[in-house]
Amino acid sequence: MALKLAVLVSGSGSNLQSIIDRIEDGSLDAEIRLVLSNKPDAYGLTRAEKHGLPTVALDHTAYASREDFDAAMVQKINASGAEVVVLAGFMRLLTPVFIDAFATIVNIHPALLPSFAGCHGQRDAAGYGVKISGATVHFVDEIMDHGPVIIQAAVPVLSGEDGDSLGARILEFEHRIYPQALQWLAQGRISLKDRHVLLAEAGIPKAALCAHGLVNPPLEDGF
């Protein structure tokens, strides 16, 4: 049975597009029940509409509090029948009103957590002068960029590289590891022990790792 997703976006929605593409090519066993944005002009909504997906825009500035806004999102997501919430460039801090409403919320962050949490992970990593950065897919808990890690991709930082350049290269890996993590959820292969995400084997061949990065756990064919 396909995993039923609600995808939340605030901007261009490139990670949303990668999820749509993998669903349409058959490598991700999922169905997008709703694409929701806090910004009515977010291009992610346009991407969704081009694929005939249901969309909702809820302008967060129209609500008296974060809790009120989160309650409105919960109502829309529940009405869609989605079972997993996917944060794909959703630039709002979530309150317990939202987090407590869903069993599974996942997020992608453009850095190797727990390093460089926050909304400027690429810029902060480049500015610090690290030699390795990357991307992390993780479960969401009550602390920002803190939940258990599902999959990470490591990307070497080039000498003198700025945050924009590094971010563009990290984004290529985001587009691969996010659909992969969702497919593992769809297959029921992920379990959680304390903070450790465990992945059950499925006898599926692993894809070759990119020469310019490293993914752990390894990607499987199709991602």
Catalytic amino acids? 109
Closest CA relative to residue 201, chosen from 215, 174, 220: 220
H helices, E strands: number in the chain: 6, 10
- Degrees, nearest 5: CA angle 216-220-222: 130
DSSP string across 84-146:
EEEESS--SPPPHHHHTT-S-EEEEESS-TTTT-STTHHHHHHHHT-SEEEEEEEE--SSTT-
- Degrees, nearest 5: CA angle 70-76-81: 125
State the greatest distance between any 2 C-alpha atoms of the chain, in Å, as a whole number: 51
| DSSP assigned state of 41 | T
Nearest-angstrom CA–CA distance, 197 and 174: 19
- Beta bridge pairs of residue 193: 196
